[in-house]
Amino acid sequence: MTDKEATMYQILGKISESGAPIVFKGALITKLILAEHGYTAIERQTRDIDANWIGMPPPMSELENTLNRSLEALHGKFRAKAFREYGDKMSAGFYIIENATDEKIVTMDVDIRPIYGSTTYHYGEVSIHGVLATEILADKITVLSSVKMFRRTKDLIDVYALTHCGKVLSAEVMDVIARKHLKLGDFAEFFTRRNDVEHAYSKLQGVEGKPPFDNVYAYLTEFVRPFAQKEKTSLTWNNGNRNWDDTSRVVEKRPSVLGPLRAKAQQERERPASPPKKTKHKNDLER
pLDDT digits (tens, 9 = 90+) for 230-255: 988 889 999 888 999 987 654 444 44
Strand partners for 49 = 108
Which residue from 177, 117, 112 is spatially nearest to 143, judged by alpha carbons?
A: 177
Mean pLDDT for the stretch of residues 82-89: 92
Work out the pLDDT band at 278, boundaries 50, 70, 90. Answer: very low
User: DSSP string spanning 119-140?
Assistant: EEEEETTEEEEEE-HHHHHHHH
Give the pLDDT confidence score for residue 232 in this predicted structure: 84
Q: Average per-residue pLDDT in the chain?
A: 87
Give the pLDDT confidence score for residue 250 in this predicted structure: 46
Strand partners for 53 = 22, 112
With a CB cutoff of 8 Å and minimum separation 6, the contacts of 86 are: 57, 60, 92, 110, 111, 112
Which residue from 123, 139, 118 is spatially nearest to 35, judged by alpha carbons?
A: 123
Give the pLDDT confidence score for residue 258 in this predicted structure: 37
Work out the pLDDT band at 74, boundaries 50, 70, 90. Answer: very high
Mean pLDDT for the stretch of residues 79-92: 94
Give the start-to-end residue ranges of the domains of the chain: 1-131, 133-252
- Rounded Cα–Cα distance for residues 34 and 60 (Å): 33
- More confident position, 203 or 260: 203
Work out the pLDDT band at 154, boundaries 50, 70, 90. Answer: very high
Q: Cα angle at 171 between 159 and 41, to 5 degrees?
A: 20
Q: What pLDDT digit, counting tens, does each position of 110-149 carry?
A: 999 888 899 999 999 999 999 999 999 999 999 999 999 9
- More confident position, 69 or 240: 69
With a CB cutoff of 8 Å and minimum separation 6, the contacts of 78 are: 11, 71, 96, 97, 98, 99, 105
Say if strands 48-53 and 103-112 run parallel, antiparallel, or are unpaired.
parallel
CA dihedral 61, 63, 67, 69 (to 10 degrees): 60
Q: Is the pLDDT of residue 265 over 70?
A: no
Work out the pLDDT band at 267, boundaries 50, 70, 90. Answer: low
Which residue from 160, 114, 164, 110 is spatially nearest to 135, judged by alpha carbons?
A: 114
| pTM recorded for the entire structure | 0.82
Q: With residue 217 as reference, give the H or E element that holds it.
A: helix 213-223
- Rounded Cα–Cα distance for residues 150 and 180 (Å): 23
Phi and psi based region of residue 276 (left: phi greater than 0; alpha: psi -120 to 50; beta: remaining): beta
DSSP state of 265: H
Q: What SS3 state is found at 245?
A: strand
**Residue environment code for 165-191, b if the CB has 16+ CB neighbours within 10 A, otherwise e:** beebebebbbebbeeeeeebbebebbe
Which CATH number is 1-131 given? 3.30.460
Say if strands 126-131 and 118-123 run parallel, antiparallel, or are unpaired.
antiparallel
Q: Is the pLDDT of residue 286 over 80?
A: no
Query: Could you tell me if 243 and 222 are in contact, meaning their C-beta atoms sit under 8 angstroms apart?
Result: yes
27-to-39, 61, 77, 87, 239 alpha-carbon distances in Å:
15, 27, 24, 23, 21
